[in-house]
Structure 1
């Protein structure tokens, strides 16, 4: 099995773990991000409202799309990341830097690899998250879409490819900035641990993978949360004036939200995200590291 296939397979395992652990928190985040100011007094108000009005399964509403799509997304992330890391390692080795085999990458190299992974991932995560958000925020009484395939079909039929990829520009900005920081934080923590203990990466304890993944998740959201809020607003906005479009562009969305709701709107829904982050991201890196270790002998 080639290294790229192993990376993609391990990434898929990480993506599935991320969705199963993080989806209930994510739907609360999206509802809070996209609701009008004053709709919810806090995370618990939103969560109990979903539970009371829609039942416990509502916390996994729209899960099929991310379960399939985010599995692919995280697979692409790690595939692109590891491929770029190998490129930099080979270049380091040729220059006689980076230690044995050039494997110890600089912060700039890791960040660049993360940005590339984020951009590659963004072309899939954009439409996946758009469809997921449409399903998460639609009425449970008279839903417009029966499921992800129905949503894709209806949106594409009415608005074409641009409709399916709504909010793509801000998605790419979020992925590039976020995953550059995300993988930089994780890799630097792993490098520091290996240097301090004199151990190989294959000896990294599962608890360490969870801990460092959780820390990387916090670094990610510290950078991208306001961008993510704008993305959610763009992806729940109408497709045209006839369908209730409120924002002419991403910048118009930022200006409109700022004027109408103030700076607080850009952090609304942050609490469930911060609670979700260590579990979802810890699970992602744990699944990736364990799957990579299992696949190493193939």
Structure 2
């Protein structure tokens, strides 16, 4: 029997009261799954994005150097902010995504003209629009979390006493004391631009789900796994250059030493230093991470959505 996705507006019925909390609760479990599977890949990605070729020869060299010099803890460096942050961020993102899907379907694409009318499915463009809106919404939470995570990930000293930041709280405190709220939210515009590409993620997720439901007999979790993993690959292929620039901006010194006051300054620096290949540096660990991390995250999300009462 074809799998059936849950809590999408196309399955809603007129007069039915929706429990909007479900998406926010399920998003917490998505964040936990994403961090557990994906953070080691993310550490390698950020280190490759923010260093030149003389530091690491490639993803494998970066991984081996990190494990040799810092141990397993090295690949989970900076994991505390995203552990808390991704639980909260995925809750906001996936919860708001569910709400935006329903609002768009009920008010823009297929408003009910009379009581009892069977509501039609939200089109792919509606899912893409909801994805962008959810991406912008969560950016105001994701910005500081990713900012702190990035600065912790590029601390290479094994001796903790030689590091600028002792941990996430110390990093947050020093940035706030030295540069205020604007320092904490440094890189917000780059974050908003990066998450605009969520249109490709959630538009393709809906399309892959439709195809798998129509042409296979996969179970619901299997559909979520494959659609989630494949759509994440589509997202990263389209958005990766903007993520490279975002990471450069987020690890840029604050204050008078700042090198990239505007997004385009960061983009020009990447091209000046490494050419077009610079925009794809670190792509391999990111691409390898995208499928399993996001596939498991969406399995967790959809499974909890099915388990919660409607």
Instruction: Identify the structure with the greater helix proportion.
Output: 1
Partner of 2:195: 175
Summarize the Cα distance change of 1:290–1:262 in structure 2 as closer, same or farther, 3 Å threshold: same
Distance 1:48 1:136 in 2: 16
- Does residue 104 of structure 2 align to residue 88 of structure 1? yes
Partner of 2:236: 221
- Does residue 129 of structure 2 align to residue 109 of structure 1? no
1:34-73 deviations in Å (ceiling 9; x for gaps): 0123321111000000000111111111111001011111
Whether contact under 8 Å (1:24, 1:60) holds in the other structure is yes
Tell me by how many angstroms 1:13 deviates: 0.6
Partner of 2:3: none
Q: 49, 61, 79: which one pairs with 2:65?
A: 49
Supply the RMSD in Å over aligned alpha carbons.
1.9
Summarize the Cα distance change of 1:260–1:81 in structure 2 as closer, same or farther, 3 Å threshold: same
What 5-or-longer segments of structure 1 have no aligned partner? none
Distance 1:259 1:214 in 2: 33
Q: TM-score, normalised by structure 1?
A: 0.91
Partner of 1:259: 272
Partner of 1:236: 251
What 5-or-longer segments of structure 2 have no aligned partner? 1-16
Whether contact under 8 Å (2:179, 2:255) holds in the other structure is no
Whether contact under 8 Å (1:93, 1:100) holds in the other structure is no
Tell me by how many angstroms 1:93 deviates: 4.3
Distance 2:287 2:269 in 1: 26
Q: Could you list the runs of 4 or more consecutive aligned residues of structure 1 that deviate by over 6 angstroms after TM superposition?
A: none
Distance 2:42 2:244 in 1: 12
Q: TM-score, normalised by structure 2?
A: 0.88
Aligned length: 287
Partner of 2:142: 125
Tell me by how many angstroms 1:256 deviates: 2.1
Distance 2:22 2:194 in 1: 27
Whether contact under 8 Å (2:213, 2:223) holds in the other structure is no
Q: 73, 79, 97: which one pairs with 2:95?
A: 79
Partner of 1:211: 226
Distance 2:126 2:215 in 1: 21
